Amino acid sequence: MAMRGEMENSQLHSSSVAYQVVDNFLPEEDFKPIQDLMMGDSFAWHYHKAVTYVDEGKEDKAFYFTHLFYSNPNITSDHIKTLNPLLEKLDVKAFIRIKGNMYPNLNGYSPQEPHVDYPYPHKGAIFYINTNDGYTILEDGTKIASVANRVLLFDPSIAHDSTYPSCQKVRVNININYF
Amino acid sequence: MTKVLSNFLPTEMADELEEVFSSHEFPWFWRPSTTHGVDEGSEGSGDYQFVHIVYYDNEPQSQLFEIVRPLLFEFEKATSLAIKDIYKIKANLLPKQLLEDAEVEESIHIDIDKGDKKYISIVYYVIDSDGDTVIYDDKGVVKANPIKGDAVYFPSYIRHRATPPVLNKRRIVLNIIVELEVI
């Protein structure tokens, strides 16, 4: 998975699932405005139910909040300008969707809901906004910790999962799907 | 001093408020603390909420003001109180969370301290939920249940707190502070 610019602290993993983790992905002066925006009090979040499956029934104990920056072919948030340093550093031919996620602390409850973002091969980047004890789980069980200014590059058409934080109030990241 | 109003809105008005504030399209703004500023950070597990300011600083801050405004007329009809001015209208979404005892203590607050009794706080319950409003009234502790269409009101200088829901996923209220006509 190629990226523009130099990659520091990056690791290319190729077990059963290929992925790459890059720490300190953005210079601090580019990361801070994004973090300040999304952790700030002027950034709109939208409530969504997260349906989990308990035995054979559905139980909607969980929920999370989203902010849609882009949904092909439309820019859906003026705040996308703040993400420019991040988006320019990815090797993008076309964006599919750019979405912010905020997972609240549910008193330790974290639904298990493996999913694919889109059912066709494409690229994905999860950019972590705050450090917390929630993580991303890849298909082979690999856990990627949520560390501020870290990016995970992978193919989101392969099943993966997210967990909620238990020691922090929220877990915030940006999910970018692209070609 | 503290009074609970049951089912004082016309059904269609209560339904509209629930539909709007429960919608996936509705924008909420995160506050890391229910009573402190945004510098509080994201550490810790509880005492945070989402808000939407509807009216503040003598003007509407949201297009939703027109949807909320009729509630005030119904409040006046139900209580025979006359509202002189609106100080603030804010929607609060409190997610399911458990608070430590210290966090409960910290969440006790007053809405406004103007040194007189002309300001009242109205908490209107937008959806059915759990998580009482606890009001430390001069005559004792009053607990109001979040039942859609109900409201509780009390002088704004009285100490009170919201309780996060533990059974339901969210608790949505309108927190309204108004100045009353002095009779």
Set of chain B residues whose Cβ sits within 8 Å of the Cβ of A132 = 42
What's the CA gap between B154 and B119, in Å, rounded? 9
pLDDT value at residue A27? 98
The interface predicted TM-score (ipTM) is 0.83
Q: What is the pLDDT of residues A23-70, one digit of tens each?
A: 999 999 999 999 999 999 999 999 988 755 544 455 567 889 999 999
Contact of A134 with A146, CB cutoff 8 Å = yes
What's the CA gap between B8 and A83, in Å, rounded? 46
Of B24, B32, B45, the CB nearest to A47: B24
Pairing of strands A123-128, A151-154: antiparallel
Contact of B99 with B39, CB cutoff 8 Å = no
Q: What is the pLDDT of residues B17-72, one digit of tens each?
A: 999 999 999 999 999 876 654 344 555 556 789 999 999 999 999 999 999 999 99
CA of B27 vs chain A CAs: smallest distance (Å): 5
CA of A131 vs chain B CAs: smallest distance (Å): 9
Q: Which helix (H) or strand (E) holds A141?
A: none
* The CATH number of domain B3-38+45-180 is 2.60.120.620: yes
Kindly list the domain boundaries of chain B, sorted by start residue.
3-38+45-180
Residue A4 has pLDDT above 90, yes or no: no
Place of tokens 């509705």: B26
Set of chain B residues whose Cβ sits within 8 Å of the Cβ of A76 = none
Set of chain B residues whose Cβ sits within 8 Å of the Cβ of A60 = 169
